[in-house]
Amino acid sequence: MLLKKILRSPLIPMSLFILLITFLLLSITNSMVGLARLCFGVLVFCMFLWLFLLKLYNHKHPDSQIKPFGLIPPEFREMDEGEQWVTYRACRNVYIYYSFALPIVAGICFLFSGHLLIPICSIGALGIGQYLVYWFTTYRILKRVE
């Protein structure tokens, strides 16, 4: 059960996203090529580790498999109506988050278009914010139910 919680946790895609943004930021700066390669290596290692754990889980639990590259993210819990409602509420909050975050980030990218790091950091902040809003919403709702 712990492996299922880990694989369905939004922390895995969020950490992979953070590693990807970090790699992009470090690869832009010419002085940190070694650190960028290390970050890329950690990203590839974590991706393969996630895929290995996913394959292990799917082999042990063929009745409740998690698709690694499906259109529906693995953190969605849609087994019954209650879990669908939790997903609905979390996605609704993410949509609300984007309704005010996207114009702000667009303005920041427009104002600082001469700087290459600002748009990448802004996109990274959008992605991290999305995962945080989704995770906190599901955590708050599930905590209330227990």
C-beta of residue 43 within 8 angstroms of C-beta of residue 20: yes
Q: What is the mean pLDDT of the chain?
A: 82
Measured CA to CA, the distance from residue 55 to residue 38 in angstroms comes to: 26
pLDDT of residue 107: 92
How many distinct helices (H) and strands (E) make up the chain?
5, 0
pLDDT of residue 77: 61
pLDDT of residue 119: 84
Angle at 70 between CA 3 and CA 103, to 5 degrees: 100
Angle at 126 between CA 124 and CA 127, to 5 degrees: 65
Task: Please report, for the chain, the start and end positions of each structural domain, with discontinuous segments joined by +.
Answer: 1-62, 80-146
Residue 109 predicted with pLDDT over 70: yes
Roughly how many angstroms between the first and final C-alpha of the chain, as a whole number? 17
In sequence order, what DSSP letters do the residues of 59-85 get, joined into one string?
HH-GGG---TT-SS-TT---SSHHHHH
pTM exceeds 0.75: no
